[in-house]
């Protein structure tokens, strides 16, 4: 999946929690299944496992809530791509980063997205709505929650007897495949 010329892609990751998605990307890069390298991790919260994962991997890491300061850090690391990995704060994206900030959402947008829809709240809403399927969406970020152009979606069935935990596990497995694929698609678009 890694292609010549994309191996040096510098990626910045923004997160607010455990860093499971960060770990998935690190594992994919290490296995040669995804282009680039993660050069910095920024969290809007100090006491999260995601920062610990970044430190363990030897990645520069920061705690920052202000969008301007976030992009100053990303520029200082020469990031060409920014991946939101469970980042819960609305990010104000400057013009020079438009089209270079991706997010993954644990539902099939435009359903079950927007402010306040994250994590188990999304899966609870999917189950309450009686949906037959769910999944994940990777999309470009704009200056609104979950409203940017969709890059790709992966569907998973909602099974009889599913609860939030079982549905979340199935959706996260799809996310682990979808985000690396979307990053590769982004790289292909940039090479054109």
- Helix 49-56 and helix 20-30, axial crossing angle in degrees, nearest 10: 20
**Average pLDDT of every residue of the chain:** 93
pLDDT at 192: 61
CA atoms 81, 82, 85, 90: torsion sign: negative
Least Cα distance to 99 among 113, 114, 82, 85 occurs for 82
Q: Is residue 45 part of a domain?
A: yes
Residue 31 to residue 28: CA distance in whole angstroms: 5
Would you say residue 189 has pLDDT above 90?
no
Report pLDDT digits (tens) over 107-160: 999 999 999 899 999 999 999 999 999 999 999 999 899 999 999 999 999 999
Q: Is residue 3 part of a domain?
A: no
User: Active site residue: 78, 105, 112, 123, which one?
Assistant: 105
Q: Is residue 97 part of a domain?
A: yes
Q: Is residue 80 part of a domain?
A: yes
Reply yes or no on whether 105 is catalytic: yes
Residue 19 to residue 164: CA distance in whole angstroms: 19
Q: Is residue 1 part of a domain?
A: no
40 forms beta bridges with 12, 60
Domain holding 95: CATH number? 3.40.50.170
Report pLDDT digits (tens) over 79-108: 999 999 999 999 999 999 999 999 999 999
Q: Is residue 126 part of a domain?
A: yes
- For strands 133-140 and 150-157, give the pairing: antiparallel
Residue 9 to residue 80: CA distance in whole angstroms: 7
Least Cα distance to 158 among 131, 178, 122 occurs for 131
Would you say residue 22 has pLDDT above 60?
yes
């Amino acid at each position: 999946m890694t292609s010549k010329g994309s191996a040096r892609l510098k990626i910045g990751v923004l997160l607010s929690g455990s860093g499971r998605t960060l770990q998935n990307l690190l594992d994919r890069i290490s296995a040669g299944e995804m282009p680039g390298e993660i050069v910095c991790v920024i969290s809007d919260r100090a006491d999260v496992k995601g920062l610990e994962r970044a430190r363990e991997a030897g990645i520069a890491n920061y705690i920052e809530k202000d969008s301007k300061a976030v992009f100053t850090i990303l520029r200082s690391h020469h990031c060409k791509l920014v991946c939101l990995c469970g980042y819960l704060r609305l990010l104000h994206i400057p013009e020079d980063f438009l089209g270079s900030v991706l997010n993954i959402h644990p539902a099939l947008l435009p359903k079950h997205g927007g402010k306040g829809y994250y994590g188990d709240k999304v899966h609870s809403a999917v189950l309450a709505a009686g949906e037959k399927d769910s999944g994940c969406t990777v999309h470009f970020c704009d200056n609104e929650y979950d409203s940017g152009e969709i890059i790709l979606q992966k569907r998973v069935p909602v099974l009889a007897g599913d609860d939030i935990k079982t549905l979340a596990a199935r959706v996260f497995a799809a996310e682990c495949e979808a985000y690396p694929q979307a990053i590769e698609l982004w790289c292909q678009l940039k090479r054109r």
